[in-house]
Amino acid sequence: MINIKQLRQRKADAVAKAKGIFEAAHNANRPMTAEETTDYDAAMASVKVINEDIVRAEALMDEERNLPSTSATRIEVGANHATEKPWANFGEQLVAVRNVAVSQGREVDPRLLAALGSNESVDAEGGFLVAPEYSDVILQRTYNEGQVTSRCSTIPMKSNRLVINGLDEDSRLAGQRYGGIQVYRISEAALYTQSKPKFKEIQLTANKLIGLLYATDEILEDTAALTKWTSDNFPKAFAFQLDDECINGTGAGQFLGVQNSGAAIVVAKDAGQATGTITNTNCFNMIQRMWGPSRKNAVFFYNADLENQLWNLTRGSGTAVELLYGPAGSRGNGSETGMLLGIPAIQIEQAAAGGTQGDINLFDMSQYLLGKKEGLKADSSIHVAFLTGEQAFRWTLRNDGQPIPKKPLTPYKGSNTLSPFVTLAARP
């Protein structure tokens, strides 16, 4: 006869083993090793098998006592519509995840099971996934929230590495345009000159970006407050980081930012220019170095340190003086952003401090490629901050980005190189 008590003890031992492996890695602030992962997976697999044995044993006991089975057989009329009911809001979903963890799997909303399947052990240890519909909402809002990333050219990544082939064009001189395509006229019977285009590879690697939310027991009990707080702020936190990497990323485990790429042109300061100032000729020179086709998409991104100086930028004198900057809703500017020389001007925190290189930038972000691996992984745990009465929710996003051009472009005619990315040099 099967001893249910022994089965339950075996299950508890297996869960304890998995928990020990997980906590050893967690307490050491490191990921599990390959050996630990194998042992952890084996322990959790044995939990699943033991669960099935317990279900069969309970059903057998019910039959022996001539009782309706309480675990092996359930009669339902029609579908379980509870699993089809949508979440009212994101907070309701997080509360459901919390209830599963706190109750050790005794209180499980059927919508979580329908979305992800049952797992009564892993949830409390940090592996209960938040259902994907709200994860996708956060993902979409993240990319729309950023002032920089919302203007990038995005491409989906189905794998962790994406290689894109393109023409290698660094010059508009004859024989080098579009990577080396030549178009010419010749006389009858003259010898043709071959074209031999050059190509380049752009490689994107899906690097991991982690977002962590700590929610107190009190705020979890107030679904409306949690929903608004999370929906308003979590996408902004992701967007801030992605915007910063688009501009300042090192390319090592994160985006390659424009400032650290070979594509950016640094415009020199004026002769004798005062420390930390910005002049109208600075702006004129930046526009002059902007690649022509990029001007329709270009945006000035600047640091708040320069705001007061923008108001004073003029061209001409006397009755012919022209104001170069118009804030949103002022000076005849009816757009939602400021306008500098007819180009949108947006203040961002990711621009460098006033007076340093990158405090004002003229960028066409459509020439920045953003690889986006679809899906946002989400987990929760009640153990990370148990002593402070908080539950942790973690989101993992994988993506990569870099400028499309690898260096400035030599023009067909003229001496100055051009680029979709122009920044102003430091004025110490």
Q: How confident is the model at residue 73 (pLDDT cuts 50, 70, 90)?
A: very low
Q: How confident is the model at residue 199 (pLDDT cuts 50, 70, 90)?
A: confident
| 132 class by beta-carbon count within 10 Å (0-12 exposed, 13-18 middle, 19+ buried) | middle
pLDDT of amino acid 118 = 39
pLDDT of amino acid 103 = 64
| 115 class by beta-carbon count within 10 Å (0-12 exposed, 13-18 middle, 19+ buried) | middle
Beta strand residue intervals within 230-387, DSSP E: 265-267, 299-302, 314-315, 322-323, 325-326, 338-340, 343-347, 360-363, 368-373, 377-381
Stretch among 157-166, 197-206, 378-387 having the lowest mean pLDDT: 378-387
Instruction: Tell me if the pTM is above 0.75.
Output: no
Phi, psi dihedrals of residue 82, rounded to the nearest 5°: -60, -30
- pLDDT over 90 (residue 74): no
**Sequence ranges of the domains in the chain:** 4-72+87-128, 151-182+191-254+371-403, 258-369+405-424
* Range with the largest mean pLDDT of 159-163, 182-186, 187-191: 159-163
Q: What is the mean pLDDT of residues 290-311?
A: 96
Q: How confident is the model at residue 327 (pLDDT cuts 50, 70, 90)?
A: very high
pLDDT, tens digit, for every residue of 244-300? Answer: 999 999 999 999 999 999 999 999 999 999 999 999 999 999 999 999 999 999 999
DSSP, collapsed to helix, strand or coil, labels residue 50 as helix
Q: What is the mean pLDDT of residues 323-334?
A: 89
Question: 3-state secondary structure string, 203-243?
Answer: EEECEEEEEEEEEEHHHHHCHHHHHHHHHHHHHHHHHHHHH
- pLDDT over 80 (residue 117): no
Alpha helices per DSSP H over 65-125: 90-102, 110-116, 122
Query: Is the Cβ–Cβ distance between 53 and 7 less than 8 Å?
Result: yes
pLDDT of amino acid 195 = 65
Question: Which distant-in-sequence residues (6+ apart) come within 8 Å of 284 by Cβ?
Answer: 341
- pLDDT over 90 (residue 352): yes
Give me the CATH topology for the region 151-182+191-254+371-403.
Major capsid protein gp5 fold (3.30.2400)
pLDDT of amino acid 235 = 81
CA distance 358 to 424: 6
CA distance 384 to 234: 19
CA distance 298 to 291: 10
Sign of the alpha-carbon dihedral angle for 348, 352, 354, 357: negative
Angle of helix 223-248 relative to helix 90-102, nearest 10 degrees?
A: 100
Q: How confident is the model at residue 128 (pLDDT cuts 50, 70, 90)?
A: very low
Please state whether beta strands 265-267 and 421-424 pair in parallel, antiparallel, or not at all (unpaired): parallel
pLDDT of amino acid 282 = 98
Better-scored residue on pLDDT, 198 or 131: 198
Q: What is the mean pLDDT of residues 150-178?
A: 82
pLDDT of amino acid 388 = 74
Mean pLDDT (the chain) is: 80
* Range with the largest mean pLDDT of 37-46, 100-109, 382-391: 37-46
For residue 387, give both structure tokens: 């002593």
Stretch among 35-39, 247-251, 386-390 having the lowest mean pLDDT: 386-390
- pLDDT over 50 (residue 405): yes
Angle of helix 132-145 relative to helix 223-248, nearest 10 degrees?
A: 50
**DSSP letter string, 117-147:** ---TTHIIIII-PPPHHHHHHHHHHHHHH-T
pLDDT of amino acid 17 = 85
Alpha helices per DSSP H over 214-371: 217-221, 223-248, 280-288, 307-311
Q: What is the mean pLDDT of residues 63-76?
A: 51
Sign of the alpha-carbon dihedral angle for 115, 118, 121, 124: positive
Q: How confident is the model at residue 106 (pLDDT cuts 50, 70, 90)?
A: low
Better-scored residue on pLDDT, 209 or 232: 209
pLDDT of amino acid 364 = 98
pLDDT of amino acid 129 = 47
Q: How many CB atoms lie within 10 A of CB 52?
A: 10
- pLDDT over 90 (residue 188): no
Please state whether beta strands 161-167 and 199-205 pair in parallel, antiparallel, or not at all (unpaired): antiparallel
For residue 11, give the H/E element and its range: helix 4-27
Query: Max alpha carbon distance in the chain (Å)?
Result: 104
pLDDT of amino acid 348 = 96
pLDDT of amino acid 171 = 76
- pLDDT over 70 (residue 308): yes
> What percent of the chain is helix, strand and coil (3-state, nearest 5)?
40, 20, 40
- pLDDT over 70 (residue 356): yes
Q: How confident is the model at residue 76 (pLDDT cuts 50, 70, 90)?
A: very low
Of residues 392, 350, 397, the one with CA closest to residue 141: 397
pLDDT of amino acid 108 = 66
- pLDDT over 60 (residue 206): yes
